[in-house]
Structures are given as structure tokens and as C-alpha cells.
């Protein structure tokens, strides 16, 4: 999946807790680089929504796992100009906005913790990563899905800052909520994500930690772009030194 460390970065993993801004930053970075943007969390949300629609209890591990293994989930560039970042279809049905419902928010961490669900989703994610030129966003990308990604970023912020951002996002969409409720839900989600037995949320050992508590989206994106450019410059320098050491033309390195 990863290329030689002397080649330009082609696979980028962005992980972090809920509300850290991974989707916004990942999308902005992908557009800047001309890469595919893939938010893996939509797959788990799609499974959760499908379970709720079929009256399957989100904590029914066997039933939810069977459902996840049978669903056809497609993620593609947006086909409707309504502010969406991508189009998500489950068995042909457009669920792009439905997967953002509050009941999905409340249950997705339970569903995503089931080992069989994760295995089914990770298999699809890895196939996408194999093509390269991808910015993949999630909670276990750098540790599980793309452990050999060229660049790993862990985007973080305080739970209060993340809850406030999610609250404003819900308000902007006309979804009634309260900051206190969002904060409580965010704290609960953090506990579930970091304590689950399968693929718990944590930074990869070689990830760059980016704390965006006091940065807005524009500042965070600029910081991440600068990080990518610095790493590409370092790779180019390594390529040049390797070419000099071997006596080979740099273009052949």
C-alpha cells in the first residue's frame, strides 16, 4: 500500500475522536492534493441506519453483524449540490443525510465496536486504499486499515471544543439539540471509542498529532497542508541523496 519513502506521499490516514473536524480537514486536503476523499465512518453509520430501519437493536451483535456482511455500501463523489461532501448509498438507496440522524449518532459506536462489522467494513476500505492517491478518514485508519500509510495524522481537540462544533453543525442543519446533550453524547462516545476491544481509538505510534482546539477549520487545514508539503520535501531530499550515493539519475530513483 505504501510506496518507497523516497516517493511523494500517496496515502494519507487521518484519525481522531468525534467532532475533531476530520471530515472537513480530510475533504479539504483531498481537494488540495487532487486525491480521493474517503470518510470510513460513513460505512459504520450506514450499517447503523440500516439496522434501525429494519428494527434491529443496535446492540444485537449477531443480527447487526449479519446485516453488515450482506449490505452493499457505495461511496461516491456528490451527485446533488446540497452541501454534501459525498454520496452514500446502501443497497442503492441514497442515505447521505439520513446517516447523520441523532439516533444514528447515539448508536454508531456500539455497532462499530462489533468485530465482524469492523472486519466487513475494513475489507472494503483496504481495497479502496490499494489504488493510492487517497485521504482516508476514520478512527483506526493509521493503526488498522492503512498501517503502512505514507503519512498518518491524528486530529484532536478538547471534548468541549468538539461538542460545541457538533452543536453548531446540528443547529445549522435545523436539527434541534442542546449543547449539554451533545457534550454528554460526545463524552460517552469517547469512552466507547477508546475502550472497545477491537481497534480502539488511539494515535498510531508514527502519527503526527495535530491539536486543533484553538484553530478554526481554515487554520487547521493550512497546518495540515504545510505538514504534507514538509514531508514531501523531506522525501524529495532523501531521493536526491540516494541518487547521489548510488550515482543514478534522480528521476530513476
**Residue 101 pLDDT more than 90?**
yes
Q: Is residue 18 part of a domain?
A: yes
Phi, psi of 141 (to 5 degrees): -70, -50
Q: Is residue 34 part of a domain?
A: yes
Contacts of 244 (CB under 8 A, 6+ apart): none
What confidence score (pLDDT) does residue 128 get?
A: 78
Contacts of 251 (CB under 8 A, 6+ apart): none
**Number of folded domains that form the chain:** 1
User: The domain containing residue 169 runs over which residues?
Assistant: 11-238
- Strand-pair partners of 239: none
Q: Is residue 243 part of a domain?
A: no
Q: Is residue 156 part of a domain?
A: yes
Q: Is residue 147 part of a domain?
A: yes
Give which of 126, 136, 109, 135 is closest to 199, Cα–Cα: 109
Q: Is residue 250 part of a domain?
A: no
Q: Is beta strand 208-211 parallel, antiparallel or unpaired with respect to 134-138?
A: unpaired
Mean per-residue pLDDT, 17-41? 92
- Strand-pair partners of 15: 138, 154
**Residue 162 pLDDT more than 60?**
yes
What confidence score (pLDDT) does residue 67 get?
A: 98
Strands (E), 82-156: 87-90, 93-94, 134-138, 151-156
**Residue 253 pLDDT more than 50?**
no
Q: Is residue 244 part of a domain?
A: no
Contacts of 107 (CB under 8 A, 6+ apart): 48, 51, 52, 58
Q: Is residue 246 part of a domain?
A: no
**Residue 125 pLDDT more than 60?**
yes
Q: Measure Cα distances from 220 to 165, 181, 206, 224, 248 in Å.
A: 14, 26, 20, 6, 39
Q: Measure Cα distances from 114 to 27, 120, 144, 165, 167 in Å.
A: 27, 10, 15, 28, 27
Task: Output the domain CATH number for residue 89.
Answer: 3.40.50.300
Quick: pLDDT tens for 213-231.
999 999 999 999 999 999 9
Q: How many CB atoms within 10 Å of residue 148?
A: 12
Amino acid at each position: 500500500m505504501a510506496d518507497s519513502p523516497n516517493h511523494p506521499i500517496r496515502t494519507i490516514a487521518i484519525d481522531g475522536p468525534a467532532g475533531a473536524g476530520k471530515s472537513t480537514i480530510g475533504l479539504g486536503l483531498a481537494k488540495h492534493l487532487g486525491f480521493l476523499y474517503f470518510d470510513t465512518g460513513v460505512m459504520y453509520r450506514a450499517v447503523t441506519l440500516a439496522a434501525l430501519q429494519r428494527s434491529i437493536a443496535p446492540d444485537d451483535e449477531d443480527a447487526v453483524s449479519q446485516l453488515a456482511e450482506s449490505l452493499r455500501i457505495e461511496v461516491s463523489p456528490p451527485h446533488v449540490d446540497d452541501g454534501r461532501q459525498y454520496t452514500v448509498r446502501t443497497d442503492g438507496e441514497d442515505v447521505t443525510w439520513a446517516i447523520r440522524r441523532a439516533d444514528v449518532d447515539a448508536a454508531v459506536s456500539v455497532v462499530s465496536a462489533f468485530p465482524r462489522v469492523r472486519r466487513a467494513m475494513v475489507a472494503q476500505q483496504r481495497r479502496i486504499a490499494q489504488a493510492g492517491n487517497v485521504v482516508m478518514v476514520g478512527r483506526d485508519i493509521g493503526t488498522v486499515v492503512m498501517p503502512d500509510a505514507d503519512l498518518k495524522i491524528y486530529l484532536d481537540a478538547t471534548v468541549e471544543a468538539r461538542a460545541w462544533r457538533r452543536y453548531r453543525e446540528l443547529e445549522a442543519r435545523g436539527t434541534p439539540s442542546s449543547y449539554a446533550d451533545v457534550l454528554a453524547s460526545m463524552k460517552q462516545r469517547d469512552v466507547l471509542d477508546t475502550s472497545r476491544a477491537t481497534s480502539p481509538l488511539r494515535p498510531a505510534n508514527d502519527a503526527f498529532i495535530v491539536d486543533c482546539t484553538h484553530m478554526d477549520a481554515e487554520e487547521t487545514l493550512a497546518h495540515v497542508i504545510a505538514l504534507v508539503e514538509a514531508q514531501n520535501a523531506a522525501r524529495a531530499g532523501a531521493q536526491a541523496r540516494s541518487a547521489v550515493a548510488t550515482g543514478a539519475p534522480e528521476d530513476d530513483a
